[in-house]
Amino acid sequence: MKIVEKIGDDVSIIALPSEKILIGDYIVIEDKEQNGELVVQICDERYLDHPSMVEDMVRDEVMKASANGVESDPLQINTISHLIRDIRLLKCKIRGSVNGDRFTSNVSWLPSRVKARIRKMPTSELMRLAGQSGSREIVMGEAGDKEMLHIFAESLDGQLNVITGRKESGKSHLAKLLATELVKYGAYVFIFDLNNEYGGLAWNRDGSPSTTADKSVILSPGNSLVFSLKYLGLSSIVGLLRHTLDIPGASLREFIRMWKHLEAQGSLSMRSLGDFIQTSRCNEFIRDALYSRFHTMLSSGLFSDEKSLKIEDIFSQLKNGGLVLISLGRVSPLIRRMIVELFLGKLVELLEKRVIPPLFRFAEEAHLYIRETYWDDIVTRMRHFGIFTTFITNQPDAIGDEIFRQVDNIFLFNFTNDTDLEKLARVTMIDTETVKSMVRTLPQRTCLTLGKVVANLPIVVKVSQTDALTLGETRLFFDSKEEVYPVQKSS
């Protein structure tokens, strides 16, 4: 390999076809005289373009087509000329330099074209020099040539993360991998499971219980996910009525009055609340507005007078960390939003009172159930109290620019759509060209990892397989030919 040119922070290097170098690999340009090592990353590759080479190739093709004879090439000139035609031009970006045993992003010297030695840099060495640190190791996948990338659970702690990529690219799989590893280290992970696909984490592929089996709790609406009014408290219910059920101000005031009255009597329950609303002598419009909201709450199946889920009990049951799955798959969008509103409200309250420890939360396609005004809250207030969110989405434009700019770690899977790439290039922490050229060519299940987890050096990782059952396949029509549905059975 040799340097051809350097313009700004772009370096071009020529490499023989036999040299095993891939897009995303890191290269060190070592210059003894300058006493330093320049670290560059390959962002794109192309053929060495030269008019005379193209002319040669055209001449060759024409000759072959017109004179179909035996080729004699005793000096093997053709082989060399073919080799030259296949030489690759690697387009690289300077990421920093190594001085002694320290990585700095500061580069103020130009390596010699003649004397510089160029070699591939192993990911582990790069991460060590860049200062990746922690003690809770997570093997994320393969980076480069048969080398595994380790990240540390500490660099996910307290951070805001985004996993994005096009459909079926492997986003949920990575989320499952990270969630299980965090749980193994004793963390609490809450997952808003939109497609009911995370339940499989409790099982291995061979059907045996997985390592997280006895640390998982599945909460499904109408079953284990029921709350009593007493447990939720006035502020949670007011939040629900205001933000999800759009109650008018006057009705809300009346509701608060009723609540306080029932609470003082010691008879706060859904049943007494319903009776109270119906028999109250307030304005008819207010009563109707209250009763319609009450009816929505009643039919959601999320409220009960007999039993109530206590979120803090989950923590005392699972002393060494746990996976809490909130199934949102089989309920209407309104109930989904109600669950999320109640859950987040209560979690924040418990965290504020320091009753429970900080927790990680994974949210798939959060724009479908998190109200707009919550987004800012998530990155500021909730994070401050100890809810560390990972958004998983195939629509990056569903996440606002202001949220993206505060993201600490981004796991970027393949995107080919120009609009999505534009958006990502604008908001991610690295240069536009890297995002556009690298992300477009990423194979399935491979992601470009950016942020603190990789010490702010972009790394391409082929995400590992996991032992756990990851479910998540889209249900297909032609796969289920054998199955006969009730509607198809003859009577």
Query: Which spans of this chain sit near Mg ion (rule: CB under 5 A)?
Result: 172
Nearest distance, CB of residue 465 and ligand ATP, angstroms: 4
Task: Phi first, then psi: give them for residue 463, nearest 5 degrees.
Answer: -65, 135
Q: Rank residues 177 and 430 by Cβ distance to ligand ATP and give the closer one.
A: 177
SS3 481: coil
Nearest distance, CB of residue 172 and Mg ion, angstroms: 3
305: Cα separation from own chain's centroid: 38
What is the residue whose two structure tokens read 């340009």? Answer: 29
Partner that binds at residue 394, options ligand ATP, Mg ion, none, CB closer than 5 to 8 Å by kind: ligand ATP
SS3 36: strand
Q: Which residues pair with 227 in a beta bridge?
A: 303
d(CA 357, CA 187): 9
Q: Rank residues 31 and 193 by Cβ distance to ligand ATP and give the closer one.
A: 193
Q: Rank residues 171 and 423 by Cβ distance to ligand ATP and give the closer one.
A: 171
Nearest distance, CB of residue 243 and ligand ATP, angstroms: 27
Residue type, 361: R
* Cβ pair 421, 415 in contact under 8 A: yes
Nearest distance, CB of residue 194 and Mg ion, angstroms: 8
d(CA 149, CA 127): 9
* 170 lies in the binding site for ligand ATP (CB under 6 A): yes
Which of residues 345, 445, 453, 457 is near ligand ATP by CB under 6 A? 445
Question: In sequence order, which residues have a C-beta less than 8 Å from that of residue 200 and are 6 or more positions away?
Answer: 468, 469, 470, 471, 472
* 416 lies in the binding site for ligand ATP (CB under 6 A): no
Q: Rank residues 167 and 281 by Cβ distance to ligand ATP and give the closer one.
A: 167
Nearest distance, CB of residue 174 and Mg ion, angstroms: 10
Nearest distance, CB of residue 471 and ligand ATP, angstroms: 7
351: Cα separation from own chain's centroid: 24
Binding to ligand ATP by CB under 6 A, coded x per residue (else -) over 92-121, reads ------------------------------
Q: Rank residues 267 and 465 by Cβ distance to ligand ATP and give the closer one.
A: 465
Q: Contact region for ligand ATP (CB under 6 A) — 28-36, 181-189, 294-302, 464-472?
A: 464-472
d(CA 56, CA 98): 42
Q: Contact region for ligand ATP (CB under 6 A) — 89-97, 184-192, 308-316, 468-476?
A: 468-476
323 membership: H or E segment, kind and range: strand 322-327
153 membership: H or E segment, kind and range: none
Partner that binds at residue 338, options ligand ATP, Mg ion, none, CB closer than 5 to 8 Å by kind: none
Residues 385-414 that bind ligand ATP (CB under 6 A): 394
Nearest distance, CB of residue 472 and Mg ion, angstroms: 6
* Cβ pair 190, 356 in contact under 8 A: no
* 171 lies in the binding site for ligand ATP (CB under 6 A): yes
What is the residue whose two structure tokens read 């969008």? Answer: 333
Residue 210 to residues 187, 207, 216, 321, Cα–Cα distance (Å) = 17, 9, 10, 15
Q: Contact region for ligand ATP (CB under 6 A) — 90-98, 148-156, 165-173, 234-242?
A: 165-173
Partner that binds at residue 465, options ligand ATP, Mg ion, none, CB closer than 5 to 8 Å by kind: ligand ATP
Nearest distance, CB of residue 464 and ligand ATP, angstroms: 6
Helices 418-427 and 432-440 sit at what angle, rounded to 10 degrees?
A: 140
* 476 lies in the binding site for ligand ATP (CB under 6 A): no
What is the token pair recorded at 337? 């939003």
Which of residues 173, 336, 383, 436 is near ligand ATP by CB under 6 A? 173
Determine how β-strand 216-219 pairs with β-strand 459-463. unpaired
* 376 lies in the binding site for ligand ATP (CB under 6 A): no
Partner that binds at residue 6, options ligand ATP, Mg ion, none, CB closer than 5 to 8 Å by kind: none
SS3 477: coil
Residues 234-263 that bind ligand ATP (CB under 6 A): none
* 28 lies in the binding site for ligand ATP (CB under 6 A): no
Partner that binds at residue 221, options ligand ATP, Mg ion, none, CB closer than 5 to 8 Å by kind: none
| CB atoms inside a 10 Å sphere around CB 463 | 23
What is the token pair recorded at 371? 């109200």
Question: In sequence order, which residues have a C-beta less than 8 Å from that of residue 371 and are 6 or more positions away?
Answer: 243, 244, 337, 341
Q: Rank residues 241 and 468 by Cβ distance to Mg ion and give the closer one.
A: 468
* Cβ pair 438, 24 in contact under 8 A: yes
Nearest distance, CB of residue 193 and ligand ATP, angstroms: 12
> What is the DSSP annotation of 188-257?
EEEEEETTS-GGGGGBBTTSSB-TTGGGEEEE-BTTTB-B-HHHHHHHHHHHIIIIIS---HHHHHHHHH
Partner that binds at residue 428, options ligand ATP, Mg ion, none, CB closer than 5 to 8 Å by kind: none
Nearest distance, CB of residue 175 and ligand ATP, angstroms: 8
Nearest distance, CB of residue 431 and ligand ATP, angstroms: 25
What is the residue whose two structure tokens read 């040299």? Answer: 19
Which of residues 167, 319, 481, 489 is near ligand ATP by CB under 6 A? 167
* 434 lies in the binding site for ligand ATP (CB under 6 A): no
Binding site for ligand ATP (CB under 6 A): 165, 167-173, 394, 445, 463, 465, 470, 472-473
